[in-house]
A and B are shown apart, each in its own frame.
Chain A
Amino acid sequence: MLLNHAQIKKLLPHRYPMALVDAVLSVEPGARIIAVKNITGNEPCFAHLPDEADWRSYAYPASLVMESFGQAAGLLYLLGAEPPGEREHLVMLFGAATRCRFEGEAFPGEMLEHRASLERTFTDAAIFRGEVWVSDRRIVSIERMVMALRPARALRN
């Protein structure tokens, strides 16, 4: 792996239970990233399922697949070609997502592989597209995702 989980936590402010990228496998700064998250039966999102729950109930929720992808995209932005300098006091928030097609699901024992591409950056936003794979199956294709960059001090209560 290129970045391990400890290194990811130096870049992203997300912490348990919202730290949804386990490792970065590869990056082309300013262009592309491949990052992964393993799905375990021990995820908080499975905690409320009753013992009789059908196996299909264990599909990792779409909203969390998207959040995990969004964090991979965030890492791509932070590992960008320009020096990080300015970016440290910016928080990346989910701004918008367009035409995210869900073709399959991921279950405990499987791994989400996020393939994100950076299309464009602006002073206060970054635009991505990409796909989420589980082994040789593409489970999500994301036409466009926009992350908004906001100064952290504006968001603290």
Chain B
Amino acid sequence: MSAPFSCDYAAPLIALDRVLRCDPSGIVTQKEVVADEPFFAGHFPGYPIYPGVFLMEAVHQAATYYGRVFLGRVTLREVRSARFLVPVFPGDVLEADCRTEVLPAGGGLKVEARCRCGTRTVAEVKLLYRVEDAVASQSRTD
């Protein structure tokens, strides 16, 4: 399934171009990092480097999408860990491969993701979310 993505909340950028897979066990998203994105002008002038926090943002947007499909509104409770292993540059194609787990007894949603460019793992991100709406929302396409 390949679905266009949109944000109805503030975002530094749209961190995913497409959703490659979304099922109860997880979500895989993809983004092409292109040189003309507005933030590259400032990060940094003369040597564009994809900010590590935007890798975290990609996982966050994937998690929010997943939440909307299966659980309802989710809000970020904790960045359990975010490890940025390798710099990412314009021209790289980023894939965020997220394993999701709904924790028992209202524990919320755990998302553990590996971000890759091709075969290289560029980041590992673990996020924890509160599920705001107890009732799962209807499946939607955005």
Contacts and interface: CB of A to CB of B under 8 A. Distances in A.
Interface of A: 13-19, 43-46, 48-50, 53, 56-64, 66-67, 70, 91, 93-102, 148, 150, 152, 155-157
A5 to B, nearest CB: 13
Nearest to A70: B53
A46 B10 contact: yes
A61 B12 contact: yes
Contacts of A15: 41-45
B122 to A, nearest CB: 12
A157 B78 contact: no
Contacts of B60: 62-63
16 contacts: A19-B42, A48-B7, A48-B11, A48-B14, A60-B10, A63-B56, A66-B53, A91-B49, A94-B84, A96-B84, A97-B82, A98-B81, A100-B82, A101-B78, A155-B49, A157-B48
Interface of B: 7-12, 14, 38-39, 41-49, 51-54, 56-57, 60, 76-84, 87, 89
Contacts of A17: 38-39, 41-42
Contact of B44 (A13, A66, A95): A13
A101 B42 contact: no
B9 A59 contact: yes
Contacts of B42: 14-19
A97 B12 CA distance: 19
Nearest to A18: B42
A64 B43 CA distance: 13
A93 B122 CA distance: 13
A61 B45 contact: no
Nearest to A50: B8
Given A94-B84, A96-B84, 19 more contacts: A15-B44, A17-B39, A18-B42, A46-B10, A49-B8, A50-B8, A53-B8, A57-B8, A57-B9, A59-B9, A61-B10, A66-B53, A67-B51, A96-B82, A99-B79, A102-B77, A102-B79, A155-B47, A155-B87
A95 B44 CA distance: 17
B12 A64 contact: yes
Contacts of B39: 17-18, 44
Contacts of A18: 39, 42-43, 51
Contact of A49 (B10, B38, B44, B79): B10
